[in-house]
Amino acid sequence: MTSPLHHPARPFLLPLAVLALAALTACASAPPANAQLDAARSQLRAARADPLNQGLAGPERQNADAAMDAAESALAKGEDSASVDHLAYLASQRTVLLQQAGLRRQAEATVAQATGQRDQQRLAARTQEADSAQRSAQASQRDAQASQRDAQMAQRQAELAQRDAQAAQREAGAAQVQAGDAERRAAMLAEQLKAMDARQTDRGMVVTIGDVLFDTDRAELKPGGLRSMDKLVAFLQAYPLRRAVVEGFTDSTGGADHNLALSGRRAEAVRAALVGAGVGAERIRTQGFGEQFPVAGNADAGGRQANRRVEILLSDDSGLIPAR
């Protein structure tokens, strides 16, 4: 059997196919942009650069960094935009907590400075003990109010952390369910492709139908020919995002123009049968190649029979099929 990529008249097709595949792989490796993650990343970068937050290495900084790492990892792994958006939101909220920690540190420094100044004033104004006592009482009241505000803030932070933990737990459960569903779909897809005797090529999965569907030099499907494509019909109905290209081929017997036209009519007959079985017409296109791209020699009957075929090339879920 002679592969089209190894045909003696086309020695340059293999390196061109390899370069095209490498270019497609390089393009696919670049992660997509995410506006919410970009905003959260900028917010965290600004918080790190804020002088109020310099030197903070406590849980607020660690939580913000960990949340951003999780969002970046989700984007790099190609997770869906809703998951990346949610993780970016968590990173943004934890950056807010980091900023609040810096503000709290500034407030504490201000209170400490005010306390020192107040002590100096008390030492310098011992003759005014009554006024000093009154100021001390007022300061104590302000301190109590500040402590109460700190306690309320801490309680709000604890509630936020609890909600984050619950959300993370729900996300983990949903991710586990999605992983199980994906695994089952992959197993089902592999089983269906195997049942159709599909083979992997550099253009995608290909199902080959021999000339048993047609009489010699005819393009009408034989009675019962559609039944031999039942598995293909079921596959296309089960995966509505996938498309197909039906390609017809002949042996070298007869004129090239006649063979080209015959191969095109046979491809159209298969397409019409699939559409008649319920597959959307917009999902299937056809191409006749005549005696081009043989898979065997035409010197004997067996080789000619192998070359008389119809190939159905199946796309992935993106619906794209590389050109021959």
Nearest residue to 321 via CA among 229, 246, 233: 246
pLDDT digits (tens, 9 = 90+) for 165-213: 888 888 877 767 665 655 565 566 666 677 668 899 888 899 988 767 7
Nearest residue to 294 via CA among 252, 246, 245, 247: 252
Mean pLDDT over the full length of the chain = 82
CA separation for the pair 218, 231 (Å, rounded)? 24
The one-character DSSP state at 241 is: T
Helix, strand or coil, per DSSP, at residue 284: strand
CA separation for the pair 141, 233 (Å, rounded)? 80
Amino acid letter at 288? G
pLDDT digits (tens, 9 = 90+) for 261-317: 999 999 999 999 999 999 999 999 999 999 999 999 999 999 999 999 999 999 998
